[in-house]
Amino acid sequence: MFIPVILGTAREGAQSAKVANYILKKAEEYGFETELVKAGDYIEAQTKRVGVEGNPKAESWKAIVERAEGMIIVVPEYNHSFPGELKLLLDSLYKEYYGKTVGLVGVSNGGLGGARVVENIKTLINNFGMIATQRSLLVSKVQDVFDETGNLKDESYNEKAIKLLDEVKWFAGRLKGGK
């Protein structure tokens, strides 16, 4: 089962990169085929749809989405919403997302773990016919959860991550990525 992990920000020094790398490792250990997809590597500075001439980045993103049964999106909360980079990435495709499962991982440096962005982004995900798992993973006070090099300090996240992966597998196994 191919389940890429999407890093939903291109902010330099983003703490979410540590979370995405951690989830990637857990997904590999779990037995998913996976890879890290950094939103910033697949977008232009302005909204561009796939199929538009001269948009090879969106073509690469399309190939990943078409192959995927689902995806895990690591999304930091920026002003109670999602980063613009993630919106640019998602807006570059449309029908390709139908029937894909999405596991959401919210990230914040406060105590709410990105709960607001995780609820907020479900509207966008539903628009594409993607299905979010019931459970999400909320990473609160991310600066305390990992050390400077990105090693997990708070081991309670291991169990939470497995619960999310279990749900992604369950939903993706039934939806079969819309194929």
Ligand X SMILES: Cc1cc2nc3c(=O)[nH]c(=O)nc-3n(C[C@H](O)[C@H](O)[C@H](O)COP(=O)(O)O)c2cc1C
**For binding to ligand X (CB under 6 A), which residues are involved?**
9, 11, 14-16, 76-80, 107-110, 112, 142
Cβ 8 to ligand X, closest distance in Å? 9
Q: Are 65 and 34 in contact (CB under 8 A)?
A: no
Which C-beta is closer to ligand X: that of 54 or that of 149?
A: 149
CB of 9 to ligand X, least distance (A): 5
Smallest gap from residue 46 Cβ to ligand X (A): 19
Closer residue to ligand X, CB minimum distance, 129 or 150: 150
Q: What is the largest CA-CA distance in the chain?
A: 47
Give CA–CA dist 33/47, Å, rounded. Answer: 29
For ligand X, the closer CB: 55 or 109: 109
Report the residue number, 8 or 178, with the smaller CB distance to ligand X.
8
CB of 73 to ligand X, least distance (A): 13
